[in-house]
C-alpha cells in the first residue's frame, strides 16, 4: 500500500500538483487518469522520488519516503519496478541485457540463474527469440513489453506503469493491460497505472483517480465512473461522439 | 556571469556525486573496459593521420625557415621533437579529442537523459551520475596518455619521412636532431598536462549531457557547448600548468 498525503509540486511559478492525497491499494490496479498535461507523469515521478515534492509525505507500507536519504531510498527502490512512458530501455544493451541489468545490480545469482529469470520474465510478456536484439530493432509494443519484463525482474512489491499502452493498437493495448492485471494479482503487487485510455479503464480499472488541473477531482471504480454526473469527468470519459451516444442510451 | 558561476558550482556538485563509492564493482569495471576500448581504439586512426601530417609539415616549415648556414640542420629534428612533445601532442591532440570524444559523450548521456534512461537507472537505486560518468573518466585517464605518447612518436616519424624523401634534409641530420638535448622531464610535463586534459575531456561533456533538458535539438546544443567549454578549459589549464611546471 502506498499513501500519498497532501503533496504539492511546482516547477517555477507553475503549480502542477495542488495538495493531492491518495491511497493506492495492494494487490489491485490503481489507475491515475486525466487529460494530457494534467500532471499524471509528474505525480508518479514524485511518488518514486525522481522529482522532490515541495511539501507533503509519501508512505510505502508505513515507511516514510520523502525524508529518506539516498541510501534508505535505495532499499525501497529495489522493491519498485517502473515502466516509463517511452520505455526507457538502455539502447546500448540487448533485450536480454536490459532485463538482466537489475539482477546484476542487486542479486548474486549465477549466470544460469539470471538467464532463467530473464527468460521467465520475457516469456511472461509473450516475448521469445528476441533476446539478442537491440531496442532499436524491435517494435514499440515489444519495447513496452521488454520494459515490463525489466520492471518485474526483481519481483517488485510496487509497480508503476506510465501509459503502458499508449501508441499501441487497441488489441495489443488490452493484452498489456491484462498482463499487468495478472501480474498484480499473481504477486500481490501495489500497481499504479497512469493512462488516458478509456479502454484500459474499463478493462482493468479497480481504483480510479481522476486528475484535473493538478487536483484530485474524482475517485471511484469502473462502475461508478460510467454513472458519474460530474461534468468535467463526463467530458473526459465520453470524449468521443460515439461514447456520448452510448451515454444517452 | 552568474550563470557561469552557477554552471561551475553544479559541475563540482555533479563531480561529488560521481566520486561516491560504486554500487557494484563488477558492473563498473565492465563499463570501464568497454569505455577504454571505445575511447582508445576509436581515436587511434584519426590521431595517427593528424600526427603524421603535422610532424611532416612542422619539419618542412622549419627546414624552409632555416636559410642561414650558421644554424645547423639538426635543429630541424630538435624543433619537431620539442614542438610535438611540449605542445602539439598533448595540447592540440587533446583539443581534437575534446571535439571527437566530447561531443560523443555529451550526446550519448544527453539522449539517455531525454529518453528517461537516466531516470530508469535512478529508479533501480543506481547512482546514475557515477555509473555513467566515472567509468568514462577512469578510462580516459588510462587511455588518453597512451594515445598522446603514440601521437608524439608518430609526429616525429612524420618528420623523419620528410627527411627520407626530401633533398633539403638528410635522415641522419634529422635523427641527430631528435636525439639532441633530450630531457625526460619534458615528456613527464606533457603527460601531467594530458592527465588534466583527459579529466576535462570526459567530465565537462558529461556534465552538459547529464543536464540536458528538452528534446533532440538540445542534445545538439549540449554537445556544442561541451566542446566549446572543454576546449577553453584545456587552454586555460595548459597556460597555468606550463607556468607552474616549466618556468
Ligand atoms: N521537468 C519539468 N519541468 C517543468 N515543467 C514540467 C516538467 N515536467 C512536467 N512539467 C509540466 O507539468 C505539466 C504536467 O506534465 P505531465 O508530464 O505530468 O503530464 P501528463 O499528465 O503525464 O500528460 P501526458 O498524458 O501527455 O503524458 C505539464 O504542463 C508540463 O509542462
Ligand atoms: Mg505523462
Closest ligand 1 atom number to CA of residue A34: 21
Confidence of residue B200 (pLDDT cuts 50, 70, 90): very high
Residues 6 or more apart in contact with residue B64 via CB below 8 angstroms = B168
Q: Look at residue B11 and tell me if it is in a domain.
A: no
Per-window interface: A 13-72 vs B, CB < 8 A: 45, 48, 50, 70
What count of Cα atoms within 13 Å lies in the side-chain half-sphere of residue A7?
28
Q: How is residue B127 annotated by DSSP?
A: -
CB–CB contacts below 8 A, A to B: 51
Which candidate, B112, B98, B120, places its Cα nearest to that of B39? B98
Q: How many domains does chain B have?
A: 1
Q: What is the pLDDT of residues B125-154, one digit of tens each?
A: 889 999 999 999 999 999 999 999 999 999
Residue A239 has φ and ψ, to the nearest 5°, of -75, -30
**Whether pLDDT at A248 is above 70:** no
> Could you say which ligand is closest to the alpha carbon of residue A212?
1
Q: Look at residue B50 and tell me if it is in a domain.
A: yes
- Of all protein residues, the one whose alpha carbon is nearest to atom 8 of ligand 1 is A42
Q: Which of A8, A12, A40 to mutate to test the pocket of ligand 1 (most atoms within 8 A of CB)?
A: A40
**Mean pLDDT calculated for residue range B160-174:** 84
**Whether pLDDT at B26 is above 80:** yes
Whole domain around residue B85: which residue ranges?
28-245
Confidence of residue A2 (pLDDT cuts 50, 70, 90): very high
**Whether pLDDT at B23 is above 80:** no
Which candidate, A107, A185, A191, places its Cα nearest to that of A153? A107
**Mean pLDDT calculated for residue range A6-10:** 92
Q: Look at residue B185 and tell me if it is in a domain.
A: yes
Residue A175: its pLDDT value, please? 83
Residue A56: its pLDDT value, please? 92
* Residues found in chain B: 247
CA angle A59, A65, A68 (to 5 degrees): 155
Q: Look at residue B163 and tell me if it is in a domain.
A: yes
Regarding predicted confidence, which is higher, A240 or B221? B221
Judging contacts by C-beta atoms under 8 Å, the chain A residues touching residue B123 are 48, 50, 77, 80, 82
Q: What is the pLDDT of residues A147-177, one digit of tens each?
A: 999 999 988 999 999 988 877 778 878 888 8
Residue B4: its pLDDT value, please? 86
Q: Do B120 and A102 touch (CB under 8 A)?
A: no
Residue B182: its pLDDT value, please? 85
CB B76 within 8 A of CB B178: no
Q: Do B123 and A78 touch (CB under 8 A)?
A: no
A157 at interface of B, judged by CB pairs closer than 8 A: no
Q: Is the dihedral of CA B146, B152, B156, B161 positive or negative?
A: positive
Q: How is residue B139 annotated by DSSP?
A: H
Of A74, A88, A104, the CB nearest to B116: A88
Confidence of residue B64 (pLDDT cuts 50, 70, 90): confident
Residue A84 has φ and ψ, to the nearest 5°, of -85, 160
Give the whole-angstrom CA distance, residue A216 versus residue A195: 15
Give me chain A's average pLDDT, please: 88
| Distance from Cα B24 to the centre of ligand 1, integer Å | 33
CB B102 within 8 A of CB B42: no
For residues A184-202, one letter each, b for 16 or more C-beta atoms within 10 angstroms of the residue's C-beta and e for the rest, the string is beeeebbbbbbbbbbebbe
**Whether pLDDT at B9 is above 80:** yes
Q: Look at residue B55 and tell me if it is in a domain.
A: yes
Q: Look at residue B10 and tell me if it is in a domain.
A: no
Burial class of residue A163, CB neighbours in 10 A (0-12, 13-18, 19+) = buried
**Mean pLDDT calculated for residue range B112-120:** 93
Q: What ipTM score was computed for the predicted complex, to two decimals?
A: 0.87
**Mean pLDDT calculated for residue range A113-118:** 93
Q: Is the dihedral of CA A162, A167, A170, A173 positive or negative?
A: negative
Q: What is the pLDDT of residues A119-128, one digit of tens each?
A: 999 998 888 8
Least confident range of A110-114, B49-53, B174-178, B208-212: B174-178
Give the whole-angstrom CA distance, residue A55 versus residue A187: 32
Alpha-helix residue ranges (DSSP H) falling in chain B: 2-18, 25-65, 74-83, 93-114, 117-123, 128-165, 171-179, 184-210, 216-246
Query: Which residues form the pocket of ligand 1, taking CB atoms under 6 Å from any ligand atom?
Result: A 11, 16, 34, 36-42, 85, 196
Q: Smallest CA–CA separation between B27 and chain A, in Å?
A: 8
**A86, closest residue in chain B (CA to CA):** B115
Confidence of residue A229 (pLDDT cuts 50, 70, 90): confident
Cα B160 versus chain centre, distance = 24
Give the whole-angstrom CA distance, residue A119 versus residue A153: 10
Residue A31: its pLDDT value, please? 92
Q: Do A90 and B117 touch (CB under 8 A)?
A: yes
Q: Of all residues in chain A, what percent carry a pLDDT higher than 90? A: 45
Q: Which long-range contacts (CB under 8 A, 24 or more apart) does A138-143 make?
A: A138/A95, A140/A87, A140/A167, A140/A168, A141/A167, A141/A168, A141/A169, A141/A172, A141/A176, A143/A87, A143/A89
**Whether pLDDT at A23 is above 80:** yes
**Mean pLDDT calculated for residue range B53-72:** 87
**Whether pLDDT at A247 is above 70:** no
B64 at interface of A, judged by CB pairs closer than 8 A: no
Residue B25: its pLDDT value, please? 85
Judging contacts by C-beta atoms under 8 Å, the chain B residues touching residue A75 are 125
**Mean pLDDT calculated for residue range B32-50:** 91
**Whether pLDDT at B2 is above 90:** no
Residue B138: its pLDDT value, please? 95
Q: Is the dihedral of CA B175, B178, B183, B185 positive or negative?
A: negative
**Mean pLDDT calculated for residue range A69-78:** 86
**What separation, in Å, do the N-terminal and C-terminal C-alpha atoms of chain B show?**
32
Judging contacts by C-beta atoms under 8 Å, the chain B residues touching residue A90 are 112, 117, 120
Residue A240: its pLDDT value, please? 67
Judging contacts by C-beta atoms under 8 Å, the chain A residues touching residue B112 are 90
Q: Look at residue B18 and tell me if it is in a domain.
A: no
Regarding predicted confidence, which is higher, B181 or B154? B154
**Mean pLDDT calculated for residue range B59-76:** 84
Q: Look at residue B5 and tell me if it is in a domain.
A: no
Give the whole-angstrom CA distance, residue A52 versus residue A70: 12
Cα B188 versus chain centre, distance = 16
For residues A38-71, one letter each, b for 16 or more C-beta atoms within 10 angstroms of the residue's C-beta and e for the rest, the string is bbbbbbbbbbbbbbebeebebebeeeebbebeee
**Mean pLDDT calculated for residue range B187-205:** 95
* Residues found in chain A: 249
* C-alpha cell belonging to residue A104: 546484476
Confidence of residue A249 (pLDDT cuts 50, 70, 90): low
Give me chain B's average pLDDT, please: 91
Which candidate, B93, B90, B58, places its Cα nearest to that of B75? B58
Residue A58, beta-bridge partner list:
A4
Amino acid at each position: 500500500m502506498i499513501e500519498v498525503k497532501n503533496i504539492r509540486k511546482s516547477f517555477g511559478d507553475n503549480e502542477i500538483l495542488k495538495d493531492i492525497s491518495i491511497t493506492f491499494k495492494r494487490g489491485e490496479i490503481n489507475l491515475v487518469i486525466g487529460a494530457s498535461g494534467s500532471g499524471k507523469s509528474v505525480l508518479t515521478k514524485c511518488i518514486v522520488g525522481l522529482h522532490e515534492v515541495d511539501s507533503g509525505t509519501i508512505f510505502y507500507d508505513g515507511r516514510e519516503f520523502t525524508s529518506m536519504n539516498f541510501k534508505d531510498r535505495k532499499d525501497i527502490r529495489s522493491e519498485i519496478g517502473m515502466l516509463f512512458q517511452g520505455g526507457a530501455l538502455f539502447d546500448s544493451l540487448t533485450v536480454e541485457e536490459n532485463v538482466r541489468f537489475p539482477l546484476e545490480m542487486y542479486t548474486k545469482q549465477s549466470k544460469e540463474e539470471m538467464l532463467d529469470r530473464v527468460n521467465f520474465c520475457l516469456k511472461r510478456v509473450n516475448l521469445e527469440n528476441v533476446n539478442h536484439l537491440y531496442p532499436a530493432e524491435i517494435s514499440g509494443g515489444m519495447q513496452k513489453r521488454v520494459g515490463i519484463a525489466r520492471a518485474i525482474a526483481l519481483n517488485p512489491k510496487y509497480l508503476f506503469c506510465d501509459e503502458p499502452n499508449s501508441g499501441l493498437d487497441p488489441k495489443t493495448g488490452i493484452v498489456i493491460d491484462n498482463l499487468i492485471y495478472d501480474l498484480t494479482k499473481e504477486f500481490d503487487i501495489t500497481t499504479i497505472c497512469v493512462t488516458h485510455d478509456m479502454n484500459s479503464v474499463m478493462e482493468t480499472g479497480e481504483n480510479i483517480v481522476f486528475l484535473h488541473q493538478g487536483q484530485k477531482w474524482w475517485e471511484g471504480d469502473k462502475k461508478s465512473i460510467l454513472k458519474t454526473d460530474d461534468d468535467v469527468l463526463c467530458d473526459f470519459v465520453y470524449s468521443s461522439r460515439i461514447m456520448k451516444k452510448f451515454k444517452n442510451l | 556571469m552568474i550563470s557561469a558561476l552557477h554552471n561551475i558550482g553544479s559541475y563540482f556538485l555533479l563531480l561529488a556525486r560521481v566520486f561516491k563509492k560504486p554500487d557494484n564493482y563488477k558492473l563498473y569495471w565492465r563499463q570501464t573496459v568497454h569505455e577504454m576500448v571505445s575511447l582508445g581504439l576509436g581515436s587511434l586512426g584519426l590521431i595517427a593521420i593528424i600526427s603524421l601530417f603535422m610532424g611532416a609539415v612542422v619539419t618542412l616549415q622549419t627546414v624552409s625557415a632555416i636559410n642561414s648556414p650558421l644554424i645547423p640542420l639538426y635543429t630541424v629534428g630538435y624543433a619537431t621533437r620539442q614542438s610535438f612533445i611540449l605542445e602539439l601532442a598533448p595540447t592540440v591532440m587533446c583539443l581534437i579529442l575534446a571535439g571527437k570524444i566530447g561531443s560523443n559523450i555529451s550526446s550519448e548521456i544527453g539522449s539517455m537523459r531525454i529518453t528517461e534512461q537516466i531516470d530508469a537507472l535512478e529508479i533501480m537505486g543506481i547512482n546514475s551520475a557515477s555509473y555513467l560518468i566515472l567509468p568514462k573518466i577512469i578510462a580516459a585517464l588510462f587511455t588518453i596518455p597512451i594515445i598522446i605518447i603514440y601521437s608524439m612518436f608518430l609526429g616525429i616519424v612524420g618528420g623523419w619521412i620528410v627527411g627520407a624523401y626530401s633533398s633539403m634534409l638528410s635522415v641522419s641530420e634529422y635523427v641527430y636532431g631528435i636525439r639532441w638535448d633530450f630531457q625526460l622531464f619534458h615528456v613527464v610535463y606533457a603527460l601531467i598536462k594530458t592527465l588534466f586534459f583527459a579529466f576535462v575531456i570526459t567530465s565537462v561533456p558529461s556534465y552538459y549531457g547529464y543536464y540536458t533538458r528538452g528534446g533532440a535539438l538540445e542534445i545538439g546544443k549540449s554537445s556544442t557547448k561541451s566542446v566549446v567549454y572543454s576546449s577553453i578549459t584545456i587552454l586555460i589549464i595548459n597556460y597555468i600548468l606550463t607556468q607552474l611546471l616549466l618556468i
